[in-house]
Structure 1
């Protein structure tokens, strides 16, 4: 994700939004290889963000921020 933010994300209008998403994603996914992530990991993240009162649209943007893996 960090490589994505330092590369392709810089060209996007939503780069600042991507940085915000990383801030939210990092505590749960930092240091993990993308291949090690499971659907259960993502569902857990989504459930936690829903508990935090975050809208579905925001959660979708955060989860979709990972860029091409």
Structure 2
């Protein structure tokens, strides 16, 4: 929990900051499923990052908030 925003998984700080600043309507939190290579804390020198989505969830349902990789 960060300032009322639920954060689950390897969500990049830039996405957290954007959600906190923009306060998108109906968004209760952000999540990244699994442990995608290249996400925060999962960086591996010499290996290419996987593509992954940060999912926004809340009263408005679920949707892609950001795409990485």
Name the TM tier (shorter chain): 0.3 to 0.5
Greater helix proportion = 1
Greater strand proportion = 2
What TM-score, normalized to structure 2?
0.34
What TM-score, normalized to structure 1?
0.34
